[in-house]
Chains A and B, each alone.
Chain A
Amino acid sequence: MPRWFASVILLFLLLLFFSFSTGSEDLDPSLSNLKMDVEPSDIKIGLFYHGAKVAVTAFTSKGLDVVIRCEGPEQEMKLMRKGRVGGMWMNVEEILVEKLPAVYLLRSSAPLEEIADQETLEEHGLGYAALQARMKLHRSKEKSLPIFDDLIQLKEKDRLYEISQGNIQVSDLEVWPIFQIKSFFDLPPKVPIGTYRIDVLGFKKGAPVALGTYTLEIAKVGFVSFFSSLAANRGLLYGCVAVILAMLCGLGIGILFSSRSGH
């Protein structure tokens, strides 16, 4: 079989595969559909869970700038701001933050400001400025200092927020003009459970042209799930059981020690 004929057949099969893509949901109709895959397909938090490495693979055409974003569920956050009172540092203000994702991890093939203008980035929720635009604050003091930079630092310290450039591998599939791109996200142990959304956006000359979306579920399982739901739904029973078990354990160790020492 001639080599060019084999390439055409392979390209046709790939295009057919793309048209039945299951990973992309909730797409902007003006953008073309990007085929993508996420490994592992979901994350189960068990007793020995210690974070997860998530691999994102997508297929794009040549010459696109790529942005990959992993966003966790929106979460209310109660924060305290410290201030100086009489020469001492203490909490001076309570702040309720809404409309911010619990997790925001972003990889881009080039610096964001080189990929698109600020308005386009904000429209697609890319970059910290976009998060600042959608964030809602309820502050206990009317005239107060801005907190956004400190808030980002707080989240980055927990590895729940991160923006980095250049961590995207591009490999030629030998089937022109399809390229495979691959990137990894390190989800820290502290991630909240819920529905996460992973988006791959392709930009050309500052405008978005392709989008792929994947929904990643993070859930507690087994013993971890059992204890979480017991604590949340039957607090009193849980508290009494915790106290009785703690008491028995303490006394048990006490008896063990006293019998060993020959009393």
Chain B
Amino acid sequence: MLMDLFLYLPIAGTSINLFLLLGLGGIVGLLSGLFGVGGGFLLTPLLIMIGIPPTVAAASDSNQIVAASASGTFAHYRLGNVDFKMGTVLLIGGIVGGTFGVYLVKILRAMGNADFVIKVTYVAMLGIIGSYMFLESLSGLRRAMRKDEEEMAEEPVSKGPSLYARMISAMPLQVNFPRSGIRISLFLPMILGIFVGILASIMGVGGGFIMVPVMVYLLRMPMHVVVGTSLFQIFFTCVNVTIMQAHLNHTVDFLLALTLLVASSTGAQIGARLSKRLNADQLKVLLAGIVLLVMLKMLASLVLAPSLLLSYKGGH
């Protein structure tokens, strides 16, 4: 009887089972705390699938990510996992890139092929990031297992710094980021922030799942600091998106967001604790698996014939 409790969502204009919403929020919050991603790339399609209008799903999702990322950032801050200095530099880059990206989308829409560009970019980015992370972290796990077996009998051979490492150390304006334990040029996180901001606005997401691999592979930050710092940045992005959507499109359903955020904030706390127990390679394999699954789903929707050729405007 209690499981039949439905909640009418005022802006979405439909009613949804309360426990279904709590379940979805909890799972996405868990992933958010575990990997430092906002979860928008997962939750928005799931909400559309259960009957929420696409525009309301995307806007309300940003609202709930505000809570999940606030909760997750706080949890990671207490664990010493947030690099505020790096987060701020990336955020400034992200805002510049995001603004430029919005104009780019406008031009693409006027040209009439925005949908094609958005979907193909999505699949390509998810495919490249997911595959690279998956393979790299798998080989990392294998290396660790071999090391255990050989009980580190041999000393590792020092190869010297790679071409990429030499390149970034030669860039001007080198700055220390003590929390991440790295020294790099200020330009690098700024440029990467702009790049992710452009991609995020083309794809219509917060960009956590692009930012995390960028921090791990290009900025060489430790995985646990990456998660906390990514959440810190996602928080500000989603505050901006929520206010803009509520002001311009009136599509934020606070009741939907509230239900999701109670569950997702709790999930984020559990995720943050779990992330301490798993090692970096295990975390990366799991995230890569999820990214690849989403990519396959998107690829299937591009290649397989839909059951209905019509849909309400606003969907992906």
Stretch from A32-40, A77-85, A114-122, A175-183 contacting the other chain:
A77-85
Tell me which residues from 51 to 99 in chain B have a Cβ below 8 Å from any Cβ of chain A. Answer: 51, 63-64, 66-72, 74-75, 78
Tell me the complex Cα distance, A258–B272, Å: 11
Stretch from B130-138, B181-189, B304-312 contacting the other chain:
B304-312
Q: With A87-B303, A150-B310, A258-B75 known to touch, is A235 a contact of B70 (CB < 8 Å)?
A: no
Q: With A242-B252, A243-B239 known to touch, is A89 a contact of B70 (CB < 8 Å)?
A: no
| Chain A residues closer than 8 Å to B304, beta-carbon distance | 89
- Closest B residue to A193 by beta carbon equals B13
Stretch from A12-20, A42-50, A63-71, A204-212 contacting the other chain:
A42-50
- Closest B residue to A148 by beta carbon equals B310
Tell me the complex Cα distance, A236–B44, Å: 22
CB distance A90 to B312 under 8 Å? no
Determine how close the nearest CB of chain A comes to the CB of B13; give it in whole angstroms.
Answer: 6
- Pick the contact of A82 from B10, B13, B306 — CB < 8 Å? B306
Query: Is the CB of B119 closer than 8 A to any CB of chain A?
Result: yes
Q: With A50-B6, A82-B309, A90-B116 known to touch, is A249 a contact of B67 (CB < 8 Å)?
A: yes
A interface bracket (residues with beta carbon within 8 Å of B): 35 or more
Stretch from B203-211, B216-224, B259-267 contacting the other chain:
B259-267
CB distance B311 to A255 under 8 Å? no
Query: Is the CB of B243 closer than 8 A to any CB of chain A?
Result: yes
Tell me which residues from 4 to 37 in chain B have a Cβ below 8 Å from any Cβ of chain A. Answer: 5-8, 10-11, 13-15
Determine how close the nearest CB of chain A comes to the CB of B107; give it in whole angstroms.
Answer: 17
CB distance B246 to A231 under 8 Å? yes
A218-247 vs B, CB cutoff 8 Å, 1 = contact: the mask equals 001001110110011001101111110111
Query: Is the CB of B247 closer than 8 A to any CB of chain A?
Result: yes
CB distance A250 to B78 under 8 Å? no
SS of B interface (majority): helix
Tell me which residues from 159 to 187 in chain A have a Cβ below 8 Å from any Cβ of chain B. Answer: none
CB distance B265 to A250 under 8 Å? yes
Query: Is the CB of B180 closer than 8 A to any CB of chain A?
Result: no
Tell me which residues from 136 to 174 in chain A have a Cβ below 8 Å from any Cβ of chain B. Answer: 145, 147, 150-151, 153-154, 157
Tell me the complex Cα distance, A242–B308, Å: 35
Query: Is the CB of A192 closer than 8 A to any CB of chain B?
Result: yes
- Pick the contact of A243 from B243, B302, B303, B313 — CB < 8 Å? B243
Tell me the complex Cα distance, A49–B7, Å: 7
Tell me the complex Cα distance, A57–B115, Å: 49
Determine how close the nearest CB of chain A comes to the CB of B239; give it in whole angstroms.
Answer: 5
Query: Is the CB of B279 closer than 8 A to any CB of chain A?
Result: no
CB distance B78 to A263 under 8 Å? yes
Query: Is the CB of B250 closer than 8 A to any CB of chain A?
Result: yes
Query: Is the CB of A8 closer than 8 A to any CB of chain B?
Result: no
Tell me the complex Cα distance, A119–B255, Å: 47
Tell me the complex Cα distance, A150–B69, Å: 40
Determine how close the nearest CB of chain B comes to the CB of A62; give it in whole angstroms.
Answer: 41
Determine how close the nearest CB of chain B comes to the CB of A104; give it in whole angstroms.
Answer: 16
Determine how close the nearest CB of chain B comes to the CB of A19; give it in whole angstroms.
Answer: 41
Query: Is the CB of B269 closer than 8 A to any CB of chain A?
Result: yes
- Pick the contact of B311 from A80, A190, A243 — CB < 8 Å? A80
Tell me which residues from 242 to 259 in chain B have a Cβ below 8 Å from any Cβ of chain A. Answer: 242-248, 250, 252-255, 257-258
- Pick the contact of A249 from B8, B265, B308, B310 — CB < 8 Å? B265
| Chain B residues closer than 8 Å to A249, beta-carbon distance | 67, 258, 261-262, 265
Tell me the complex Cα distance, A225–B89, Å: 42
Query: Is the CB of A133 closer than 8 A to any CB of chain B?
Result: no
| Chain B residues closer than 8 Å to A89, beta-carbon distance | 301-306
Determine how close the nearest CB of chain B comes to the CB of A252; give it in whole angstroms.
Answer: 8
Tell me the complex Cα distance, A47–B5, Å: 11
Q: With A224-B8, A228-B10, A231-B250 known to touch, is A154 a contact of B242 (CB < 8 Å)?
A: no
Query: Is the CB of B172 closer than 8 A to any CB of chain A?
Result: no
Query: Is the CB of A111 closer than 8 A to any CB of chain B?
Result: no
Tell me the complex Cα distance, A239–B248, Å: 10
- Give 15 A-B pairs besides A150-B308, A250-B268 with Cβ atoms closer than 8 angstroms: A51-B15, A79-B311, A80-B315, A89-B304, A154-B310, A157-B308, A190-B14, A227-B254, A231-B250, A239-B242, A243-B243, A249-B67, A253-B71, A254-B75, A261-B273
25 contacts between A and B (CB under 8 A): A45-B8, A47-B7, A48-B7, A48-B8, A80-B315, A89-B305, A90-B116, A95-B310, A153-B308, A231-B252, A232-B250, A236-B246, A239-B242, A239-B244, A239-B247, A242-B242, A246-B257, A250-B69, A253-B265, A254-B70, A254-B269, A257-B75, A257-B266, A257-B269, A258-B74
B residues sitting closer than 8 Å to A (CB atoms) are 5-8, 10-11, 13-15, 51, 63-64, 66-72, 74-75, 78, 115-116, 119, 239, 242-248, 250, 252-255, 257-258, 261-262, 265-266, 268-269, 273, 301-306, 308-315
